[in-house]
């Protein structure tokens, strides 16, 4: 999630509040937790280490939407994910690369199919590359220092068995609001 994406996407946000469906990666906090608040602005606003599934999402997740999310999540089997490498995007983003990549992409597709009015990243990236951002808008020298610091701590693994909803409040702080289990 990045502040450079529009807050409002028809039906998926508002000028005040937005949300995101994510996979939280608590196991990554020990490795990247000290770097993210310095190099990723959303971390300082309460966004924990995560892989984005769909952002922006709806400003209000009512009971009907929550039931739809639960139904979709219940059809997605849980899986183990590994973060074994550090990658970079051209726009100065340093990230941990999740595997199996296709499982994360499938999750995004499932939610985009059900919520087509909520394109990933407001439509900026129609087929986004799943990742766990460590730093955004960083220069090459900073990226190299971060990579040298993080790489020795890899690989790390985590179980992906829940789909949390992060919600932004009026002050721009993010918190986990709800969470849905994936299929056993």
Average pLDDT over residues 17-45: 95
Domain that holds residue 25: 19-172
Kindly state the tokens that stand for 90: 């051209």
pLDDT of residue 126: 76
- Judge whether 42 lies within some domain: yes
Kindly state the tokens that stand for 19: 């949300």
pLDDT of residue 127: 86
- Judge whether 10 lies within some domain: no
Is residue 35 pLDDT above 90, yes or no?
yes
pTM: 0.91
- Judge whether 184 lies within some domain: no
Report the CATH number at residue 132: 3.90.1140.10
Burial, 67: exposed, middle or buried (Cβ in 10 Å; 0-12, 13-18, 19+)?
exposed
Collapsing DSSP to helix, strand or coil, 137 comes out as coil
Q: Are 34 and 146 spatial neighbours (Cβ–Cβ below 8 Å)?
A: no
Q: Are 162 and 182 spatial neighbours (Cβ–Cβ below 8 Å)?
A: yes
Q: How large a percentage of the chain has pLDDT more than 70?
A: 91
The CB-side HSE value for 127 (13 A sphere, CA atoms) comes to 2
pLDDT of residue 11: 56
Average pLDDT over residues 103-114: 97
Collapsing DSSP to helix, strand or coil, 66 comes out as helix
pLDDT of residue 176: 93
Would the CA dihedral through 128, 30, 167, 103 be positive or negative? positive
- Judge whether 3 lies within some domain: no
The model's confidence at residue 60, banded by pLDDT at 50, 70 and 90, is confident
Phi first, then psi, for residue 123 (nearest 5°) are 90, -5
Collapsing DSSP to helix, strand or coil, 54 comes out as strand
Average pLDDT over residues 152-170: 96
- Judge whether 179 lies within some domain: no
- Judge whether 5 lies within some domain: no
- Judge whether 1 lies within some domain: no
pLDDT of residue 117: 92
The model's confidence at residue 125, banded by pLDDT at 50, 70 and 90, is confident
Tens of pLDDT, residue by residue over 61-80, are: 999 999 999 999 999 999 99
Average pLDDT over residues 24-47: 96
Q: Please state the domain count of the chain.
A: 1
Edge-to-edge, what's the strand order for the sheet holding 79-89? 132-135, 93-99, 79-89, 156-160
pLDDT of residue 12: 67
Q: Which residues of 145-157 are buried (b: 16+ CB within 10 A; e: fewer)?
A: ebbeebeeebebe
Query: Rounded to an integer, what distance in angstroms lies between the CA atom of residue 119 and that of residue 108?
Result: 10
The model's confidence at residue 16, banded by pLDDT at 50, 70 and 90, is very low
- Judge whether 7 lies within some domain: no
């Amino acid at each position: 999630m990045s502040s450079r994406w529009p807050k409002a996407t028809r039906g998926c946000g508002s000028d005040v509040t937005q949300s995101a469906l994510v996979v939280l990666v608590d196991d990554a906090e020990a490795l990247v937790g000290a770097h993210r608040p310095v190099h990723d602005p959303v971390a300082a606003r309460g966004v924990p280490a995560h892989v984005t599934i769909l952002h922006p999402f709806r400003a209000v997740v009512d009971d009907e939407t929550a039931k739809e999310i639960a139904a979709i999540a219940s059809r997605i089997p849980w899986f183990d994910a590994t973060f074994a490498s550090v990658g970079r995007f051209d726009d100065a983003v340093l990230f941990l690369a999740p595997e199996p990549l296709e499982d994360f992409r499938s999750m995004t597709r499932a939610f985009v199919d059900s919520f087509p009015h909520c394109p990933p990243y407001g439509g900026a990236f129609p087929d986004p590359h799943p990742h766990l951002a460590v730093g955004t808008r960083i220069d090459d020298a900073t990226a190299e220092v971060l990579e040298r610091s993080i790489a020795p701590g890899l690989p790390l693994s985590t179980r992906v068995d829940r789909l949390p909803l992060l919600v932004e409040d009026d002050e721009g702080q993010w918190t986990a609001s709800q969470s849905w289990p994936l299929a056993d």
